[in-house]
């Protein structure tokens, strides 16, 4: 194990996201599926001749949305992982196509946190680690907001102390 110390390899990250992420993802799904269902139901009630043509798709979208809101957050919670070591930031995310990313400390250029309106309700945040990679930033979504702030501070200090030119 000592021979591997300091090496950056793609490997499974160890940390799960905060469990409140399930509520955050369910709320997002409810808004995404709920908006068209609400519009179709209102139009179906207001336009009696088109009621069947409007309420049928509303029911289909509502059923798909319900399955999505129940199943997808649980699946994502099992897949999404993150970890920060002395040498790199590791993430795993995705759905059918799962993406594993590693950002060596020496390549990190900036570290940001983001808290959207729904994230604020659930006391969550996203940490974005920007590198010179063409694939873009590495994002850790669904962290406790205090952990995210602490992690951003830790990453900033570690990257400043890490030799390299971040390019």
The 10s digit of each residue's pLDDT in 116-146 is: 999 999 999 999 999 988 788 999 999 999 9
Residue 139 lies in domain: 81-161
Per-residue pLDDT band for 96 (boundaries 50, 70, 90) equals: confident
Extract the tokens encoding 52.
Answer: 């069947």
pLDDT at 5: 54
Per-residue pLDDT band for 167 (boundaries 50, 70, 90) equals: low
Computed over every residue of the chain, the mean pLDDT equals: 91
Question: The domain spanning residue 94 has which CATH number?
Answer: 2.30.29.210
CA dihedral defined by 103, 86, 129, 104, rounded to 10 degrees? -20
Residues 46 and 67 in one domain: yes
pLDDT at 161: 73
The DSSP-derived string for 82-99 is EEE-SSEEEEEEESSSEE
| Residues 70-76, mean pLDDT to the nearest whole number | 96
Residues 71 and 85 in one domain: no
- 85, exposed or middle or buried, with CB in 10 Å at 0-12, 13-18, 19+? middle
Residues 118 and 54 in one domain: no
Residue 1 pLDDT more than 70?
no
Query: Is residue 14 assigned to a domain?
Result: no
Percentage of the chain modeled with pLDDT above 70? 90
Residues 58 and 93 in one domain: no
Name which residue leads in pLDDT, 5 or 157.
157
Residues 68 and 120 in one domain: no
pLDDT at 165: 61
């Amino acid at each position: 194990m000592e021979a591997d110390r300091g090496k950056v390899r793609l490997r499974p990250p160890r940390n799960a996201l905060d469990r409140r992420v399930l509520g955050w993802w369910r709320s997002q799904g409810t808004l995404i599926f709920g908006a068209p269902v609400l519009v179709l139901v209102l139009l179906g009630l207001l336009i009696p001749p088109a009621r069947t043509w409007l309420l049928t798709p509303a029911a289909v979208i509502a059923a798909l949305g319900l399955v999505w809101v129940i199943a997808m957050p649980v699946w994502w919670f099992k897949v999404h992982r993150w970890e920060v070591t002395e040498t790199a930031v590791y993430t795993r995310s995705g759905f059918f196509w799962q993406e594993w990313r590693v950002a060596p400390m020496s390549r990190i250029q900036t570290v940001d946190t983001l808290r959207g309106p729904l994230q604020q309700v659930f006391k969550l945040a996203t940490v974005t680690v920007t590198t010179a990679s063409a694939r873009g930033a590495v994002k850790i979504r669904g962290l406790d907001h205090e952990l995210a702030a602490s992690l951003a501070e830790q990453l900033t200090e570690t990257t400043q102390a890490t030799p390299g030119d971040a390019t």
